[in-house]
Amino acid sequence: MSSRSRPLVAGNWKMNGLRADLAEIRAIRERTVDGVAGEAEVLVCPPATLLAQAAEIAAGSPLAIGGQNCHSAEKGAHTGDLSARMLADAGATYVIVGHSERRADHNETNVGVRRKALAAIAAGLRAIVCVGEAKADRDAGREMTVVGRQLQGSLPTDVEPQQLVVAYEPIWAIGTGLTPTAADVAEMHGFMRREVEKIFPGRGGLVRLLYGGSVKPDNAAELLAAADVDGALVGGASLTARDFMAIASTYAGVPAEG
């Protein structure tokens, strides 16, 4: 692995978590303070109802808190939506945009995802832009075409590369227990690295490329060691401090590069 940014292990709680589950955030915080994640940055994206409380718990620790979605407008008549500025005001420093569940459930398009990423960055957040192919695309051998199109359409270009994180999440691997092989992940991440390098010549290494989709304590070491993988986006296994920090501990003892 050539010179890269600090790895990022991000948890996506999706539509899970009540106030009682803030105990997991407390436990994750304690373990980050104890250095369990080594050089990796640890982020939890709880549901919006818990965001401000989670951020209060994380305050003063290395644990970062993020949102799971934002609107592309700064404010206004958008009932039920949240702006990036509101997330930042509640204590978020990151936001996930364009997760495949939102692309499917809310018909989010590449153009819309790109607007959200720009709004997030304008509000001072880092944007985690999700891409990934469906099973039929991989079966037909067109996964790179699909992901390439998503990257071209969803990634803002007029930003600093450090403000952008890309998560490669093959849809068929999300919540299924299935994962691509480490070789397949490395191949896709190598492709994505070349794509971000086209957008940010000489600085593509500063865009962190996460792998997501059924990352668990028992497969994290292999998946995260794949070339051009700068961390993980973890769904189900991020709901407990035990599993999530077991994944993050993959980076313990690995010196930060770049």
Name the site residues for ligand PGA (rule: CB under 6 A): 12, 169, 174-175, 212-215, 233-237
Please give the Cα distance from 179 to 12 (Å, whole number). Answer: 17
Give the shortest CB-169-to-ligand PGA separation in angstroms. Answer: 6
Instruction: Pick the closer one to ligand PGA by CB: 85 or 208.
Output: 208
Residue in the shown chain whose Cβ atom is closest to ligand PGA: 235
Query: Is residue 36 within 8 Å of residue 252, measured between CB atoms?
Result: yes
Residue in 112, 195, 206, 194 with CA at minimum distance from that of residue 159:
206
Is 169 part of the annotated catalytic residue set? Answer: yes
Give the shortest CB-211-to-ligand PGA separation in angstroms. Answer: 10
3-state secondary structure of 43: strand
Give the shortest CB-111-to-ligand PGA separation in angstroms. Answer: 22
Look up residue 71 and give its DSSP letter: B
Contacts of 84 (CB under 8 A, 6+ apart): 67, 70, 71, 74, 95, 116, 119, 120, 122, 123, 125
Catalytic residue, chosen from 24, 133, 169, 195, is 169
Instruction: Pick the closer one to ligand PGA by CB: 228 or 243.
Output: 243
Instruction: Pick the closer one to ligand PGA by CB: 35 or 175.
Output: 175
Dihedral sign, CA of 159, 208, 175, 237? negative
Catalytic residue, chosen from 99, 101, 133, 189, is 99
Instruction: Pick the closer one to ligand PGA by CB: 87 or 174.
Output: 174
Give the shortest CB-234-to-ligand PGA separation in angstroms. Answer: 5
Q: Which residues are designated catalytic?
A: 99, 169
